[in-house]
Structure 1
Amino acid sequence: MSVQERKERERAARERLIVATARELAEQQGWEAVTTRRLAERIEYSQPVLYSHFRGKREIIGAVALTGAAEMAALLRAATRSADGPRARVTALARAYLGFAESNPAVYDAMFQLDGGLAFAREDTPEPLKDGFAALLETLGEVAGEGVHPALFTEVFWASLHGLATLTRAGRLPPGESAHRIELLVDRLAVLRSAP
């Protein structure tokens, strides 16, 4: 391995450490606790080293969002892979999505609530975000209904899931009804065709 390759690997490892540490700190204490000074202390590197990877907190939030999007896409695909039939796949997708949002609140905030400097629904949208949407579309496209554009249906279903995740976390919905909400969402929005 050349010196240049070794330096690139070390740089990539440092970057992963910064992102993982920011995520951990945000999950434990909230995004307000994530500062470049605290990150530098936790990873035992100087602030200038941290700034050589990220220009500031906004870019760190963006990096956490991208890793979260990749994780969520993998989780959604795994959840739907073993489900039998369209209804089961959509239900599994909804449960996995809401479970991810509940289990990873700081990451979910980085993905959808905070400004990480990421573009959505544009040409320059980063690949992990496109793949996260693709993971939704793969399952939801099959239940969009006749004459409904699958991507548009996916956007509406996703918006519904996001609303449920956000309102549940904020304590705006009565607890204990998550399964019924998912069932209602699937039954009312997804066009489930009977097998011939």
Structure 2
Amino acid sequence: MTTSTRRARERAQRHQLIITAARELAETEGWEAVTTRRLAERVEYSQPVLYSHFGGKEGIVRAVALEGFTELAVTLRRAGEAVPARGPAPVTRALRAVGGAYRDFAERHPALYQAMFVMPTDLVFAHEETPPPLRDCFDAFTAVFAPADPRRAALAEAAWASLHGLTVLAANGRMPVAYQAERIDLLVTRLTAGA
């Protein structure tokens, strides 16, 4: 192994260690507790090392968010693919599975979800500069709808945006969480009517 290969591997490991520490700290104490000083102490590297990897807290949040989108895309794709294409209402069943997986992901990882959707980052959706993990999430929603449906992309956008709205409102206590499954069922039923 060359010196440059070893250094690159060590840098990648350090990078991941910082991301993991930020996620753990955010999940246990909230994003307010995630500072470069606290992270530097936790990972036992100096603050300049953290800055060399991420440039500051926004860069750390961005890296955490990208990791979250990667995980969410896998979760959504698995949920959609687990539904047999045969049988009654395959689109409805697939969207219900994807919607439930989305809700469960957000509930299990509230700080990660905040990094992905609430905290300020430079991540953009529906743009030529959209990073692959975000595109993969959208593709998981799009895959639910029939390829021949001309409204496929619009339906995927509406499904994701609606699920996101329901998720954030419930997480912030603006709507009772107890009825979340019913809301998602209503959304799925409306979006897949006639599918």
TM-score normalized by the length of structure 1: 0.91
Moved more, 64-73 or 83-92: 83-92
Is there any run of 5+ residues in structure 1 with no aligned partner, and where?
none
Corresponding residue to 1:95 among 100, 118, 143? 100
Which residue matches 2:133? 128
Which residue matches 2:58? 58
d(CA) in 2 for partners of 1:121 and 1:163?
18
Relative to structure 1, the CA distance from residue 24 to residue 78 in structure 2 (aligned partners, 3 Å threshold; closer, same or farther) is same
Corresponding residue to 1:175 among 177, 185, 190? 177
Aligned-CA RMSD value: 1.6
Which residue matches 1:40? 40
String of CA shifts for 1:45-77, please: whole Å, max 9, x gaps.
111111110100001000000000000000011
- Contact 1:87/1:192, CA 8 A, preserved across alignment: no
String of CA shifts for 1:97-150, please: whole Å, max 9, x gaps.
0111111111111111111221222111111111111111111x329x9542x2
Please identify runs of 4+ aligned residues in structure 1 that moved more than 6 A: none
The residue identity in structure 1 corresponding to 2:78 is A
- Contact 1:69/1:129, CA 8 A, preserved across alignment: yes
d(CA) in 2 for partners of 1:146 and 1:96?
23
Which residue matches 2:111? 106
Is there any run of 5+ residues in structure 2 with no aligned partner, and where?
85-89
d(CA) in 1 for partners of 2:120 and 2:102?
21
Which residue matches 1:117? 122
Identity %: 51
Q: Does 1:71 align with 2:71?
A: yes
